[in-house]
């Protein structure tokens, strides 16, 4: 077997092993946590309206069957894997009784659009600012932006998202806290719909851009510093080329190479 084929097989085994481990840990983590969400649900139901105990027990049994909570923990796990292989993720908790995969597929285009646009913006900002910071190495701009990048690049995007929503949605009220667009609008290429989508997607996109772009910034800065020590740049300076021309044609172009 060729070394490349061995490498690909090893990577695939590693990826599938990681995925299987994550699925297994997630399953047992929620099953082993103290408390029972069904008991809490029935308790809230009985607190708000009169429900007989026999009816409550029937509801619990029906919910156990629906969510795959019958039998031992091992039986539940094997049943979960069997349904997962078939593509059945069970009913959705937020849109019960609709299947979870239907809810996921409905929101998947919005997720792909958000992640795709945020990744492109993060890459462009990170590469441009990181290259400029390295070009002006040891300047005040370089020191400020590098220290800021080291701090913000370590913040998880979901923590950044919570902070942004708390400040700009709940405290200031500038942006909506949930949804993809205003409920009263019909999706289409209209100005009102586009503005509504931008308002709803601004904070999620900003949380991703702020955390991802600084990672690209640091990588681009370190790569630019290594390029600045290359012989071809010394030769370009010896030829008397202007710094702006050297930056655009010799430094920035090499940064963009894959």
Per domain, the residue ranges of the chain are 3-88, 103-255
pTM beyond cutoff 0.75: no
Helices (H) and strands (E) in the chain, counts: 11, 0
Hey, how many other C-beta atoms are within 10 angstroms of the C-beta on 45?
13
Residue 221 has pLDDT above 70, yes or no: yes
CA dihedral 108, 114, 117, 122 (to 10 degrees): -130
Tokens 């069997």 found at: 82
Do 197 and 180 touch, CB atoms closer than 8 A?
yes
How high is the pLDDT of residue 54? 64
Q: What is the pLDDT of residues 174-204, one digit of tens each?
A: 888 777 777 777 777 778 778 888 888 888 8
Confidence band (pLDDT; 50, 70, 90) for 55? low
Residue 258 has pLDDT above 60, yes or no: no
């Amino acid at each position: 077997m060729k070394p490349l084929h061995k490498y690909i097989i090893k990577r695939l085994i590693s990826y599938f092993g990681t995925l299987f481990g994550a699925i297994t840990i997630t399953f047992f983590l929620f099953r082993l946590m103290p408390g029972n969400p069904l008991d809490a649900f029935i308790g809230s139901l009985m607190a708000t309206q009169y429900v007989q105990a026999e009816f409550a027990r029937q509801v619990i049994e029906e919910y156990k069957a629906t969510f795959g909570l019958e039998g031992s923990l091992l039986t539940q796990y094997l049943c979960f894997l069997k349904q997962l292989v078939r593509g059945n993720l069970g009913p959705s908790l937020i849109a019960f009784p609709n299947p979870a995969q239907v809810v996921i597929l409905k929101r998947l285009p919005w997720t792909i659009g958000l992640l795709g646009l945020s990744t492109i913006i993060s890459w462009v900002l990170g590469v441009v600012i990181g290259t400029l910071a390295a070009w002006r190495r040891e300047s005040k701009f370089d020191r400020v932006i590098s220290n800021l990048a080291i701090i913000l690049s370590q913040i998880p995007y979901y923590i950044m998202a919570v902070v942004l929503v708390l400040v700009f949605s709940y405290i200031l009220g500038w942006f909506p806290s949930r949804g993809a667009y205003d409920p009263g609008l019909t999706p289409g290429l209209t100005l009102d719909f586009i503005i509504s989508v931008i308002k709803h997607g601004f904070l999620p996109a900003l949380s991703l851009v702020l955390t991802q772009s600084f990672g690209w910034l640091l990588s681009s800065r370190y790569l630019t510093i290594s390029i600045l020590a290359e012989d071809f740049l010394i030769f370009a300076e010896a030829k008397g080329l202007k710094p702006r021309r050297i930056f655009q044609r010799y430094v920035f172009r090499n940064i963009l190479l894959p």
